[in-house]
């Protein structure tokens, strides 16, 4: 009850989060009504709980994580949502990645298995974002989604190395993996050029890279 009271007080201070919560709750209830089962009931409750915790985390001050080349990686917060939303909807990106509502993003802030980051230059100019998943796994991590807003200047390749540094040096994982649509040849070429190995040539092409690659090539 104390947490719920704090949540209500918190969203009063942040009207945008309050609006997002009502929209998120409505869509979650509709989804549950269409898929009623004990399992779906647990997923619904978990999603609402994640949102409530995420409402606090998404308003926290951002923190620097690491850097590689011209780019820096930092934590994201709610002030980055409009930038992320625009990057997802960009004509060059929307065919390859999905788009989450603000409520969906806030729910992910409360999911301990998910981690949202911003890619920026040394001058603090945002040029992309990365969503990581499988954060609770001790041995591997997934690069779930990323987008670059400034194309054809090498930021994509530097982002791949930045994500590897985060996975292997900051988190100490042994494996970083990701997937893309089979027809997304540009992305696959990027992954190949930065050391990723094709794992599964299916409708969603899966790639992975292991920690040893960084030390064999000296990219760190």
- The model's pLDDT over 47-77, given as tens digits with 9 standing for 90+, comes to 999 999 999 999 999 999 999 999 999 999 9
CA distance 171 to 178: 17
pLDDT of residue 216: 52
23 pLDDT band (50/70/90 cuts)?
very high
State phi, psi for 52 to the nearest 5 degrees.
-60, -40
How far separated are the first and last CA of the chain, in Å rounded? 48
pLDDT of residue 122: 93
CA 20 to chain centre: 19
pLDDT of residue 207: 81
Domain with CATH 3.40.630.30 in the chain: 64-217
Q: What is the mean predicted confidence (pLDDT) over 111-133?
A: 97
DSSP annotation string for the chain: -HHHHHHHHHHHH-HHHHHHHHHHHHHHHHHHHHS-SHHHHHHHHHHHHHHHHHHHHTTSPP-EEEEETTEEEEE--GGGHHHHHHHHHSTTTTTTS----HHHHHHHHT-TTEEEEEEEETT--EEEEEEEE-TT-SSEEEEEEEEESS-SSSHHHHHHHHHHHIIIIIS--SEEEEEEETT-HHHHHHHHHTT-EEEEESSEEEEEEETHHHHHHT--
More confident: 211 or 219: 211
Structure tokens at 58: 């998404």
Percent of the chain surpassing pLDDT 70: 90
pLDDT of residue 18: 97
pLDDT above 60 for 25: yes
Structure tokens at 153: 């200047």
pLDDT above 50 for 183: yes
pLDDT above 90 for 110: yes
Q: What is the mean predicted confidence (pLDDT) over 144-163?
A: 94
Asked if residues 116 and 105 have their Cβ atoms less than 8 Å apart, the reply is yes
pLDDT of residue 177: 94
Asked if residues 147 and 88 have their Cβ atoms less than 8 Å apart, the reply is yes
Mean pLDDT, all residues of the chain: 90
CA distance 94 to 84: 12
pLDDT above 90 for 29: no
* 64-217: CATH number: 3.40.630.30
pLDDT above 80 for 212: no
Model confidence, pTM:
0.90
């Amino acid at each position: 009850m104390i947490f719920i009271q704090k949540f209500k007080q918190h969203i009063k201070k942040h009207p945008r989060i309050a609006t997002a919560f009502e929209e998120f709750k409505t869509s979650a209830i509709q989804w549950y009504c269409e898929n009623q089962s004990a399992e779906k009931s647990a997923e619904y409750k978990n999603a609402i709980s994640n949102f409530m915790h995420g409402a606090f985390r998404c308003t926290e001050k951002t923190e620097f994580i690491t850097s590689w080349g011209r780019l820096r990686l930092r934590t994201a917060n709610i002030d980055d949502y409009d930038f992320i939303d625009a990057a997802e909807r960009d004509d060059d990106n929307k065919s390859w990645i999905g788009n989450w509502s603000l409520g969906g993003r806030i729910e992910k802030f409360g999911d301990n298995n998910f981690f949202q980051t911003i890619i920026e230059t040394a001058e603090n100019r945002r040029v992309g974002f990365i969503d990581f998943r499988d954060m609770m796994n001790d041995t591997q991590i997934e690069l779930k989604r990323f987008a670059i807003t400034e194309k054809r200047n090498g930021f994509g390749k530097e982002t791949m190395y930045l994500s590897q540094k985060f996975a292997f040096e900051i988190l100490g994982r042994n494996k970083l993996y990701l997937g893309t649509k089979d027809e997304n040849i540009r992305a696959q070429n990027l992954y190949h050029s930065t050391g990723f190995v094709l794992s599964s040539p299916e409708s969603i092409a899966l790639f992975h890279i292991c920690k040893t690659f960084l030390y064999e090539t000296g990219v760190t």
